[in-house]
Structure 1
Amino acid sequence: MLDRLAPALFVLLWSTGWVAAKYGGIYSDPLTFLSIRYATAAVLFAVLCRISGVRWPKDAATVAHAVVSGTFLHGFYLAAVWWAVGQGVPAALSGIIAALQPLMTALAAPYFVGERLSRLQKIGLLLGFAGVAIAVLPKFTDVGHAGIPAFAILVNVLGMASVTYGTIYQKRHLHSGDIRAIATLQYLGALVVTLPQAWLLEPLEFEFSWGFVALLAWSVLGISMGAILLLLYLIRRGQVSRAASLIYLVPPLAAIEAAIAFGEELTLPMIAGTVIVVAGVYLANRKVPRAAPAE
């Protein structure tokens, strides 16, 4: 049952991160908020591990791999994306950049973890990117290029490359160990990245209010814990490129959520793009028969 529900639940929870990012700027600077979020998530995961009697990794290599993967999966990735959006990169453009991640993962997976994709899976990955572009590109062109800092776009691209490497690193080096313990160590690794950045670049201030508490609670419980546990589960259970292809569904879903939460226009290209994305994800996640030759 979980195998069937996990992909849909992950996409739904993860897509709300775009809405959380937009709200986050109301209460604090992005790196400060992420540092608080990661610290809270690490503490709650540690408590969960304690209550559940989770066995912590005994070898130093597993601990190190978990921390390093966290620096890329959460630390550098979200720090880059949130900072770039705060510097003026439109959410639509950021979504297009994020949609490159599954394609990059699929292209790199054969070299790093020995995965092979069928022709249909490759077509699915390309369809996924095309669908995201159709869904969000018109929204981006309405904004105009003049006000978008080139350096912020570059940082956003580096964030995409970071999560791509982190996904492959996780698949290559973390084959065992309780995912709750792994997640705890990963958030410690993420905190190692974001806290020094926040200290250097931001005043480390935030507006404490019920809105801040509610946003932090959802960001930690819904996204940092719920969505990430599902992502780690998907990576461990299936091909890394298949798990990554689910990211294609996030930008169109985020556009729908933004239309509901902020009254943003939901256009026909967004709806058409979403349909194409779903088709692409279906093809990319199709199981390849064992007898079929690898391409």
Structure 2
Amino acid sequence: MRLLQGAVPAAFVLMWATGFTGARLGLPYAPPLTFLCLRFGTAAILMLPFCLMTRAPWPGSWRMRGHVAMVGLLMHSLYLGGVYSAISAGIPSGVSALIVGLQPLLTAAVVGPLLGEKVSPLQWLGFAIGLVGVALVLGGKLHFDAAQSWGVALAFVGLIGVTSATLYQKRFCSEVDLRTGMFIQYAAASLVLLPLSLLIGWGPVEWTGELFFALAWLILVLSFGAMTIFYLLIRKGAASRVTSLFYLTPPVAALLGWIFFSESLGPLSLFGMALTALGVALVMRRPAGG
């Protein structure tokens, strides 16, 4: 059982990190909001019959459905819209991952008053060590000029989106069935992204094999697999511990970049990975008697 409990967060980190790889693969062939609209529109279409066939319970009130939709807007429209737009604007995917990797610090700063969770001094130390580790891994990619400042701002919008979605999900939607909850989220995100993509510019879209593969991977592995694990982890653990897993995403994304795109991964990056793992271990360490 302990082995399984350890494998689930590891699987989540790996799956989540591939999202940046999938974005890098697909974004050259479609604008970011169009790409996301295609992704979540397809995910919603696939999820609806699954909900009906399995007789998944729907949220009991329109108020609760609104809460679920809000999580979808924060997570899938604001977070991914910001990150994908940043990558499309020229910000390296590793830099975007680093910015979003600041989420545990932002979560810890607001988690106390919102959710009543305590963050110990040891956990704060873990946050600091993890941040240093992430910076070391991606330090070589943090060279951008003023022309990329808009892309950096968009990445920070994504950071605010994913942090808000995590806290909102924990506070208002923790008891909602995952199947119907994800359908509502994907449908809400699609309804918002469609007019935005039409307003900003729907195309051009190049229907290449790379685009189809990226969409299939992001829908099946990320939208279904990783998001399911993410919400289950939020239900089972404190939000501050769950979001500490995001510290592992940039190093893993860098490793995947080295494997699939021949990006360099030197000794300093490997040392940063070790620091990041140590920081996550400290954040996730349960207090004595807890």
* TM-score category, normalised to shorter length: over 0.9
Which residue, 44, 47, 63 being the options, matches 1:45? 47
Decide which of 95, 98, 115 is 2:97's aligned counterpart.
95
> What SS does the aligned partner of 1:282 have?
helix
- Matched residues in 2 for 1:181 and 1:157: separation? 29
Identity of aligned residues (%): 35
Q: How does 1:1-295 map to 2 (within 5 A)?
A: 1=1, 2-140=4-142, 144-146=143-145, 148-290=147-289
User: Alignment RMSD, CA only?
Assistant: 1.5
Instruction: Decide whether the 8 Å contact of 1:17 with 1:219 is kept in 2.
Output: yes
What is the deviation of 1:204? Answer: 3.5
TM-score normalized by structure 2?
Answer: 0.95
Q: SS in structure 2 opposite 1:58?
A: coil
Mapped contact 2:77–2:189 kept (Cα < 8 A): yes
2:101 partner SS? helix
Which amino acid counterpart does residue 169 of structure 1 have in structure 2? Y
- Assess if the C-alpha contact under 8 Å between 1:138 and 1:269 holds in 2: no
Aligned-partner Cα distance in 1 for 2:85–2:57: 36
Cα offsets for 1:124-148 (capped at 9, x unmatched): 11111111001101232xxx33264
CA shift digits 1:209-263 (9 cap, x unpaired):
4332222111100011100000000011100111111000000000010111111
Give distance in 2, aligned partners of 1:5 and 1:48: 26
Give the conservation status (yes or no) of the 8 Å contact 2:20–2:97.
Answer: no
Q: Tell me the alpha carbon deviations over residues 2-51 of structure 1, each in whole angstroms, 9 at most, x when there is no partner.
A: 53322111101010011111111232111111100001111222222122
Residues matched between the structures, number: 288
Worse-superposed segment, 38-47 or 257-266: 38-47
AA matched with 1:131: G
User: Which has the higher mean CA deviation after the structures are superposed, 13-22 or 171-180?
Assistant: 171-180
Cα deviation for residue 175 of structure 1 reads 2.6
Q: Contact 1:24–1:30 at 8 Å: present in 2 too?
A: no
Unaligned runs of 5+ in 1: none
Matched position secondary structure for 2:175: coil
Partners in 2 of 1:3 and 1:64 — Cα distance? Answer: 32
Equivalent pair of 1:76/1:194 in contact (CA under 8 Å): no
Q: Residues 183-232 of structure 1: CA distance to partner in whole angstroms, max 9, x if unpaired?
A: 11111222233222211112344222433222211110001110000000
Moved over 4 A (4+): none
CA separation in 2, counterparts of 1:50 and 1:205?
35
CA distance in 2, matches of 1:106, 1:125: 9
The separation in 1 between residues aligned to 2:71 and 2:253, in whole angstroms, is 26
Segment drifting more, 270-279 vs 193-202: 193-202
Q: Is residue 25–residue 211 contact of structure 2 (8 Å, CA) maintained in 1?
A: no
> In the alignment, residue 116 of structure 1 is paired with which amino acid?
K
What amino acid sits opposite 1:286 in the alignment? R
Deviation at 1:157, TM superposition (A): 0.8
Say if 1:71 and 1:192, in contact at 8 Å, map to a contact too.
Answer: no
Amino acid at match of 2:266: T
Task: Look up the equivalent residue of 2:26 and give its one-letter code.
Answer: G
